Amino acid sequence: MDLVDTRPTAAVKVILDDMVATLGADLETTIHAHRNYAYILGRSDQYAESAREYEKVLPSFARVFGSEERITVLAWMDYGFQLIKCGDLVAAVEMFEAILPALEAELGADQGEVVLIRQILESSKST
C-alpha cells in the first residue's frame, strides 16, 4: 500500500505546466511555483522527481535572479539535499563545495543548514 498520496502533486504539476506554457519558464512567479513543486515532491518522499524538477528550474534562477543571489543559492542547497535523499552523495558533495562560500556569505557560517553542509563535506572526505 502506497502511503503517499500523489494526487495533489499531480494537480500542482498540471498548474505548473500551464504556467510555463502561458507565462514562460523565466517569469519570477513561474520560478517560485516550480521550486515549490520540487519542494512538495521532496516532502512527499518523491526524491528523484524532486531532484529532476530542481534541475529544470535552477537555470532559470541563475538567469533571472543571478547565480550568487540568496534565493538561487538556497535553491541549489535544496537541490543538494534532494540529491542526498536520492543516494547521490557524490553529486551533492560537489555541489555543496561549489555553493558553500555563497551560503556562508548569505546565511552566516553558524546557520544550521550551513553547519550541516560543512559536516557532510567533512564526513565525505573521511570516507
Express each pLDDT in 35-65 by its tens digit.
999 999 999 899 999 999 999 999 999 999 9
Torsion of CA 89, 95, 97, 99, to 10 degrees: -140
Domain with 91, as residue range(s), is: 7-125
Phi then psi dihedrals of residue 20, to 5 deg? -60, -40
Residue whose C-alpha cell reads 560537489 in the numeric block? 94
Q: What is the CATH number of the domain that holds 54?
A: 1.25.40.10
- Report if residue 11 sits inside a domain: yes
Asked whether residue 25 carries a pLDDT value surpassing 80, the answer given is yes
- Report if residue 41 sits inside a domain: yes
Domain count, the chain: 1
Percentage of the chain beyond pLDDT 90 is 78
- Report if residue 87 sits inside a domain: yes
- Report if residue 2 sits inside a domain: no
- Report if residue 79 sits inside a domain: yes
User: What is the pTM assigned to this prediction?
Assistant: 0.87
Please, where are the H alpha helices in the chain? 7-23, 28-43, 47-65, 70-86, 89-107, 112-125
> Mean of the pLDDT values across residues 97-126?
94
- Report if residue 1 sits inside a domain: no
